[in-house]
Structure 1
């Protein structure tokens, strides 16, 4: 079996090969320069996505946190266009997986094939679409549990296992998955262990009237799709990710954030509350939002804005709350107001 340059060694690290140098970093860039680059990404995505400012911001926060996002909305609201625009504005490789019930794990991760070489036939690992920086997993709940498990390993470990070998995924690596809440026929609900691996569950709503009018004018009348420039090199993004984790947060705000998550475990309307992973995710998301807004410290407003997308998919409501027509966002908002 031939060696692959991305195969991990016995110590779990990527095996070095000739000409394979570590990617350069831009740690010498100032905070202001990195924040300006991130702001430029938001502006470029806005050229192609009309409105949806909160959705774009939350997706950027996920990227800065090195996290995965689950986008949920009715069909036709631009989820795929949004992810493509984000990839176009960054120096990242994009790949799309259209999930169907007959999709196999090897269709995503890759498989070994027999290839003719001058020395004869040899087994070579053919990479699947998971080997990209930004992977759009369209309609993820249409994949079977076995295929979802392959995605789970990639999201959790940043690596995949195929044919008994482990292969490291590119850095950075994000899974941005979509699902349609109204068409549940032939779907496989994501297990809690997998939904918890998504940093955020982002709800994409309908546009306002003026926004929809602009969309119709721009696309339905034959206008060319706006060009999105690449404004955030990969090394800048990696530097920004490291810097986000260093954004200061006061002990008081951190404690209030933890207490908010703990309340979900004690609330009478919640059957299963959020785990400590939610506390970690919420603090990190608040740091990233502060960074996106050009600040160098976390405010309570950052926590309030990030709480719904970070927590909503990590709690399960009591049947009485569901009978009253409540959803997780209602409970989260009430806990924030207490």
Structure 2
């Protein structure tokens, strides 16, 4: 029981927070609000997937919020120039995601410049570019196809199929993980396997109940789910994922073992900015336009989500699943405090305190292990 509480502390905290807010505000636990909450979390959640990988390398990326704003401006301006929605999205991902990621990764990996400095500089550059390209004003967009990405819903019948596929995928992943542990002669604890399977089933059933009571799965939530599953699979089942943990745990030892540290860092920072770009595109779609000030403080929310989820800021330890739960905690806090009429200024104070407490727990755990 003690181990269960320790392993699922973040999830239990999320459930407790949800119950408290349901008691304080009956409007919180309604299908409409929970669906909107899921839609809101997708933006920070997608960024958190990339931020988890960055922090696993003992890095940081402060530019993601500004890249969200820049991507939103670029994609809307490209559509205003006459490009189709899909071509505008592709070009935006290449320009704001891949190129900026390669730029950040090059300086960090090749010259070993602290990620804090490089991404802080890019944060300013990207925000300046967004303001320059838009002349400091909002850019509207009228494409119906584009608006579906951030504001559309998947029909309930197809939503049911997607949730069923999602459950099968998760259960198969658990089974495959158990099989691998047995092949390597590792101990398989049945209680942990059963707990994971039960939580997965309950999670899917809860999602089914919420989305089917409203309008189906929001399109951005489906995109978010695909990115999360891809990220979890990458970290758990690929050589690239294992390299991240090895380099984050001890970079010099990983380099001496023959791992390509330069290539890995380059890829991680490119993935990070690409995911931030996708978040910016989804946000612009949801708002039917873009403002150069979009994305401010998103880096704070993403870092908070990752730290709350149990990823160590010193690298080498953490999971995307934990970060997503952390993102939902941040989202629930934002949503709940808004429903309760709490000023946004206080919301920033609360999030700051949460980050401090989460880092303190991380430091204390490391001292106990030492």
TM beyond 0.5? no
The TM-score bracket by the shorter chain reads under 0.3
Q: Which has the higher strand share?
A: 1
Tell me: higher relative CO, structure 1 or 2? Use CA pairs within 8 A at least 6 residues apart: 2
TM-score normalised over the length of structure 1? 0.24
Q: Which has the higher helix share?
A: 2
